Structure 1
């Protein structure tokens, strides 16, 4: 099986412009662009997957392409018109030497993605060819839930949560904290944190592009909702929380939190 781990990266983020090139202090004490840690996570995951696995950065920005190339990363240029990372992954296929059997989208702003989660999502996609998309969810730890709540209280857009059916299908994703937990009530279901990690086959990517943007996708700012809106099956691999806080780089205030989590990760899963 041929797998391509594609890291979509764009400079013009509305919430945090230039975040792929934001300097963060890595576990060895050296400051590097944030995307270099996503690349390291992708390379570590590639070594743990079966078959032939390639890693590539997909971007439309020369600043990102030049920085990544200088650090030894493989880069594919994609059109500026790509609306999100999934469309960018679809566009990147034209720049690959071979069309892969499976595409893994590892977000450029998710440098803390565990290897085990990549393996779980790939395993789900391989086992369930009926799925258009396989992704990952995990129970939000108290620290991560508190981080989400702090972002919401401050009016910041933070991480993404999901609700799933009992058979493992994802029903909805939101930038709000779902499901609602009434004050003083006992939760019947955990808050599931959605991890920015996807696996799909090239045919599903083509169907996604052909479907065009969905209103819910645009309103929430969540690309995966286009699959849900189009009635395409989305499977969620339920993963255990890693030994470090899984925080995405969504806002400048996330940088010190990610730096601390990278140090904790290095103690249990060096990459």
Structure 2
């Protein structure tokens, strides 16, 4: 049997710091993880999707729903490290890191994420969406600035760019959406690197790539998401999903 070219991996950690057990919380009649998995499976560019968890409870839910799952060490420090653990068992050319707390995920997000790999020099990709005025000063909404060719220059919880001469005016700010795709060798290199100073300062693992000279290409999307970190986030997502159905 041929190896899949592109594998989606959903890190699903049960012991989340801000909202424990959130990947199993019910949203509009289904576990949060179900919304994420079903959207990922609907993406035609993915050859397979595997859930990577540190919890036997999550693994049992996956088996009950016939979702492919791998148990990974609870000591892994990041979602990218969990994707790397799955990569040791399931070889592929490209790996897609699909956050387990993004129940508003659409297949179109993943299609956009994979588009830049048509260029051979691209090693890592991620997404951006126009930032709403309410999120421009929100540190939980990570911002990104890019070069003209789409390479990320920096990610920050601060408002970047800062419009020094137009304070209070509408700014062209981009919000980062925390989905990533990597060539296998870039994922291996990330795993081998120590957490970087900027990464630890901002608590943003993607800065490890930039500090070590690895380019991230940022593809725009028109579809925003709400990563679920609080009860308020969950309620907002539930209202949106119920309105869709």
| 1:131 maps to 2:125 | no
Q: How many residues align?
A: 240
CA offsets, 1:105-163, max 9 Å, x none? 11101121222221111121x223323311111112x3xx42565xx4xxxx6232211
| 1:108 maps to 2:100 | yes
Task: Find the partner of 2:168 among 175, 184, 187.
Answer: 184
Q: Which runs of 5+ in 1 are unaligned?
A: 26-30, 267-271
Task: Find the partner of 1:174 among 156, 165, 176.
Answer: 156
Match of 1:37 in 2: 35
Task: Find the partner of 2:12 among 9, 12, 19.
Answer: 9
Match of 1:28 in 2: none
The 5 Å alignment of 1:1-271 reads: 2-25=5-28, 31-45=29-43, 48-49=44-45, 53-96=47-90, 99-124=91-116, 126-140=117-131, 142=132, 145-146=133-134, 149=137, 152=138, 158-181=140-163, 183-185=167-169, 187=171, 190-239=172-221, 241-242=222-223, 245-266=224-245
SS of corresponding position for 1:183 = coil
- Rounded to whole Å, the distance in 1 between the matches of 2:65 and 2:160 is 39
SS of corresponding position for 2:190 = helix
- Rounded to whole Å, the distance in 1 between the matches of 2:149 and 2:243 is 33
TM-score, normalised to structure 1, is 0.82
CA offsets, 1:39-82, max 9 Å, x none? 0111111xx21xx7011001111121112222221101111221
SS of corresponding position for 1:158 = coil
- Rounded to whole Å, the distance in 2 between the matches of 1:179 and 1:264 is 34
TM-score, normalised to structure 2, is 0.90
Using the TM superposition, give the Cα deviation of residue 178 of structure 1 relative to its aligned residue in structure 2, in angstroms: 2.5
- Rounded to whole Å, the distance in 2 between the matches of 1:175 and 1:129 is 31
Q: Which runs of 5+ in 2 are unaligned?
A: none
Per the alignment, do residues 186 and 32 of structure 1 end up closer, same or farther by CA in structure 2, a change over 3 Å counting?
closer
